[in-house]
A and B are shown apart, each in its own frame.
Chain A
Amino acid sequence: MATRGMRRVTQSGLSILGIVVVFVILWEGYKFAWTALEWSWPVRPDNRTIPHTWDIVGALFQPAQRNGPLLLWVELKAALLTLREALVGFLIGGAIGFGLGVLFVRSTTAERAFMPYVVASQTVPIIAIAPMVVVWGGRLAVPQWLTVSLIAAYLTFFPVIINTVRGLRSPEATSMELMRSYASTPRETLWKLQVPAALPYIFTALKVSAAASVIGAIVGELPAGFRGGLGRDLLQFSQQFTAAPQKLFAAVILAGLAGIVFVGVITFTEHRLVAAARRQA
């Protein structure tokens, strides 16, 4: 079993590496071919618009500021800070989503009363909500990073609530009737039948939410004026794009990595909790 696990890790490592290689070839190939053919559509192949891949990686290994630490360290620290905010937001949003999901399945009255607002909440753009949360958080003396987490939570709870409701309702009618015939209490039916049945649905939502919580944290850092996270740096580098485009690309790569790490942790947990035959996506 151990060797099979090892082989799987090696295989997925190789495939990830393969994709990186293919991507680099496509990127540099585009630059080379478009320059040679003097094409400029859809994207100009010059170093301002599409920096060389080695320049992007190289930017990570240069000091972020004169005589300062390497950009890689600065951005890794920023990514960790942002991930922490995202994680706390994810936990808050996940708990709220699961709790409301259970409530809605227990009480259709509650579902009918609140579901429209839950849906409406997601049509309001996060950039409109974020400043309000920042202002309210400031008044209530909530720590700045927690304010950012609350903004992340706002993006997180929705997929969880929708999938929790669906998952808790997924057991067949006969399974529910069996529980009834055992004179099972609603709580026991919830934990022994409905929640296990809902886990594949909930994990699908958690993966979406994990990625969304990273976005929520990055976006939330901007109105919060939170320094040291990825959001601030992404904004700063995009303003400096014409001067040093490779810095923005480098920060984007780290933001992407942060999301991948988070989703990876969720997938790992799912594999421990849910049998292979029952996983959805």
Chain B
Amino acid sequence: MPPAVEARGVGMVFGRGAEAIEALKDIDLVLAPGDFASLIGPSGCGKSTLLRLIGDLATPSAGELAINGKTPEQARLDRDYGMVFQSATLLDWRNVKRNVELPLEIMGFESEARAAKAQEMLALVQLEHFADHYPWQLSGGMQQRVAIARALAFNPSLLLMDEPFGALDEMTRELMQQEVLRIWEETDTTVVFVTHSIPEAVFLSTRVLVMSSRPGWISDEITIDLGTKREEDTREAPRYFELITEVREALRRDERGKA
């Protein structure tokens, strides 16, 4: 099985000439299928840009990038990506069920298959009783759960999440993290997760990739050995705090290195 993500010397430059900005430089990265990798770093370190390159929303200016052994474009055409952004971006003229069905409609599923799949996905995110509600009738956390259900409806092998819980309050955020972990276990998807939050990265991930800015590159990698079964108790485990400290120090080291 090829790696889920394989980057060799990937770079990204925005603009040209004197105004060119080097957003990413020499990114080397291999993610195995089933990894839960978090990208963490200061604002402007290019973590969202890297996610966009992986998702074929932008094309790298240098280096090689392979997704499941294919070009990112081929992976996109093969519908390998499920995406979740910071805002849920649900279509407000469609109810919850029809929002989840949207990708399935585009991919040409029959109406019965779509309905069954939507029902299954809504059960997965525990919103089966809200199928007929409209997005504006839901809380921010519920909307984001619909977005996750929509992203997973067509069984993508890779789930790309760009600060998906950034706009949620702390309580909802922790609940959503639990949800994502459960879903990740149930679906064996590879997840690439962009976040600002150190505890969030540690709690969720199997690997935390620490990024540094100007130009953006991966300065550290920390393997999170908290096991696969993580619960609310995990947030109080000594090892959890050690890992948080480790990530924090890695982030500080980078900032000092530049100063």
Residues in A lying within 8 Å of B, measured CB to CB = 172, 174-175, 177-184, 188, 192-193, 196-197, 199, 274-275, 277-278
CB-CB under 8 A from A181, the residues of chain B are 55-57, 76, 81-83
B76 touches A180 (CB 8 A): yes
Instruction: Out of A179, A180, A278, name the residue touching B92 (CB < 8 Å).
Output: A278
A174→B91 CA distance, assembly (Å): 11
A174 touches B85 (CB 8 A): yes
Could you mark each residue 37-78 of chain B with 1 if its beta carbon is under 8 Å from any beta carbon of chain A, else 0? 000000000000000000111000000000000000000111
B106 touches A277 (CB 8 A): no
Instruction: Out of B89, B93, B134, name the residue touching A178 (CB < 8 Å).
Output: B89
Instruction: Out of A174, A182, A274, name the residue touching B89 (CB < 8 Å).
Output: A174
Instruction: Out of A172, A177, A275, name the residue touching B93 (CB < 8 Å).
Output: A275
Can you name 29 A-B residue pairings with CB atoms under 8 Å?
A174-B85, A174-B87, A174-B89, A175-B91, A177-B83, A177-B85, A178-B85, A178-B89, A179-B106, A180-B56, A180-B57, A181-B55, A181-B57, A181-B76, A181-B81, A181-B83, A182-B106, A182-B107, A182-B154, A183-B79, A183-B106, A184-B106, A192-B102, A193-B91, A196-B91, A197-B91, A199-B93, A275-B93, A277-B136
CB-CB under 8 A from B255, the residues of chain A are none
B34 at the interface (CB under 8 A from A): no
CB-CB under 8 A from B83, the residues of chain A are 177-178, 181
B3 at the interface (CB under 8 A from A): no
Min distance, Cβ A4 to any Cβ of chain B, angstroms? 19
A175 touches B106 (CB 8 A): no
B92 touches A277 (CB 8 A): yes
* A172, A177, A180, A183, most chain B CB atoms within 10 A: A183
A228→B113 CA distance, assembly (Å): 58
A199→B91 CA distance, assembly (Å): 13
CB-CB under 8 A from A175, the residues of chain B are 89, 91
Q: Is the interface of A mostly helix, strand, loop or mixed?
A: helix
Residues in B lying within 8 Å of A, measured CB to CB = 55-57, 76-79, 81-83, 85, 87, 89, 91-93, 102-103, 105-107, 134, 136, 154
- Top 9 A-B pairs ranked by shortest CB distance? A182-B103, A174-B89, A174-B85, A184-B106, A182-B106, A183-B77, A181-B83, A181-B81, A175-B89
Instruction: Out of A183, A188, A199, A275, name the residue touching B76 (CB < 8 Å).
Output: A183
Please give me the residue from chain B that is nearest to A189 by CB atom: B106
Query: Given contacts A192-B105, A277-B92, are A177 and B57 in contact (CB under 8 A)?
Result: yes
6 further A-B contacts with Cβ under 8 Å, apart from A181-B76, A182-B107, A193-B91, are A175-B91, A182-B154, A183-B79, A184-B106, A188-B106, A278-B93
CB-CB under 8 A from B93, the residues of chain A are 196, 199, 274-275, 278
CB-CB under 8 A from B107, the residues of chain A are 182
Please give me the residue from chain A that is nearest to B57 by CB atom: A177
A199→B102 CA distance, assembly (Å): 18
Please give me the residue from chain B that is nearest to A273 by CB atom: B93
CB-CB under 8 A from B77, the residues of chain A are 183
CB-CB under 8 A from B76, the residues of chain A are 180-181, 183
Query: Given contacts A174-B87, A277-B136, A278-B92, are A192 and B106 in contact (CB under 8 A)?
Result: yes
* A175, A181, A277, most chain B CB atoms within 10 A: A181
Please give me the residue from chain B that is nearest to A193 by CB atom: B91
A85→B96 CA distance, assembly (Å): 43
Min distance, Cβ B200 to any Cβ of chain A, angstroms? 21
Please give me the residue from chain B that is nearest to A277 by CB atom: B136
Please give me the residue from chain B that is nearest to A179 by CB atom: B106
A275→B135 CA distance, assembly (Å): 12
CB-CB under 8 A from A277, the residues of chain B are 92, 136
CB-CB under 8 A from B91, the residues of chain A are 175, 193, 196-197
Min distance, Cβ A47 to any Cβ of chain B, angstroms? 55
CB-CB under 8 A from A177, the residues of chain B are 57, 83, 85
A236→B85 CA distance, assembly (Å): 64
CB-CB under 8 A from B81, the residues of chain A are 181
B89 touches A172 (CB 8 A): yes
A24→B79 CA distance, assembly (Å): 66
CB-CB under 8 A from A275, the residues of chain B are 92-93, 134
B87 touches A172 (CB 8 A): yes
A174→B79 CA distance, assembly (Å): 17
A277→B77 CA distance, assembly (Å): 35
A175→B84 CA distance, assembly (Å): 11
CB-CB under 8 A from A183, the residues of chain B are 76-79, 106
Min distance, Cβ A198 to any Cβ of chain B, angstroms? 11
A182 touches B79 (CB 8 A): yes
A199→B94 CA distance, assembly (Å): 14
A197→B102 CA distance, assembly (Å): 14
